[in-house]
Amino acid sequence: MTERAPRIIAFAGSLRADSYNKKLAQNAAAGARAAGAEVRFIDLKDYPVPVYDADIFDATAADPHALFDQGGKVGGPHSKPMPGGLLRLKAHFRWADGWIIATPMHSGTYPGAFHNLMDWLTRMAPGERPMDNFTSKVVGVVSAVFAGSGSLAIVDVKRLLTTLGCFVVPGAEPVAITTTEEMFDDNGMLRDEAARRGVESTGRRVVRLAQKIGLTGHDG
């Protein structure tokens, strides 16, 4: 048997088409690829999900708290199915050993779109066990913010994901936003060498931690 490459998904908490943080996620993903990972970049805008509302799907069947003591999986099809965009996203999250998240800061914390995704990921699709999408996933967090905004979004994302069972790698200072042309070259890479190295190192640390704790498994 041979050990397979670590599987990493990279995405931004922003939906905007020309998001700084989508570009930042790609920079961190480059670091993960250089460390030997198989990386999928995900644009959340391609996977539309509504605002979380337990009335629009079978909340009882997908409630993790009802299953923790049983240790069981969710049963058959829900009477009200989960949104199609969410089910496609969940397939990526189940595939991945780790994540790279680039988060903007909205109103002093991470964006509502990111929180909405986390709310939905705690709800289980048929065949999933409680917290399958979070437990032991290795996560790196980076952020592009306007000058003076600080790192509150990074701190809050790390706190949330640690609570949900992820292994969050340390480090990552926010990258100050100027303009797209000043920040990124024609290939979408950060022009500032120190900033680029810092962001790419987050991607590398995700891969190395996934390998160290044995999440990558084997093919053979």
Q: Identify the weakest region by mean pLDDT among 27-36, 57-66, 136-145, 191-200.
A: 57-66
pLDDT digits (tens, 9 = 90+) for 90-127: 999 999 999 999 999 998 899 999 999 999 998 877 77
Contact indicator for 140, 100 with CB cutoff of 8 Å? yes
Work out the burial of residue 215: count CB atoms within 10 Å of its CB; fewer than 13 is exposed, 13-18 middle, 19 or more buried.
Answer: middle
Mean pLDDT, all residues of the chain: 86
Q: Could you identify the residue written with the tokens 């060498």?
A: 193
Alpha helix positions (H), 40-176:
84-95, 112-121, 152-163
Residue 155 tokens read as 């701190």
**Confidence at 26, pLDDT banded by 50, 70, 90:** very high
Residue 145 tokens read as 């913010």
pLDDT: which is higher, 50 or 82: 50
Q: Which residues of 103-137 are buried (b: 16+ CB within 10 A; e: fewer)?
A: bbbeeebbbebbbebbebbbbbbeebebbbbbeeb
**Confidence at 53, pLDDT banded by 50, 70, 90:** confident
Residue 31 tokens read as 């670091």
pLDDT: which is higher, 79 or 81: 81
Q: Judge whether residue 189 has pLDDT over 80.
A: yes
**Confidence at 216, pLDDT banded by 50, 70, 90:** low
Q: Judge whether residue 165 has pLDDT over 70.
A: yes
Q: Judge whether residue 66 has pLDDT over 60.
A: no
CA 178-139-124 angle, 5° bins: 115
Average pLDDT over residues 59-75: 49
- Write down the pTM of the prediction: 0.86
The CATH homologous superfamily to which domain 2-53+83-111+135-215 belongs is: Flavodoxin domain (3.40.50.360)
pLDDT of residue 43: 97
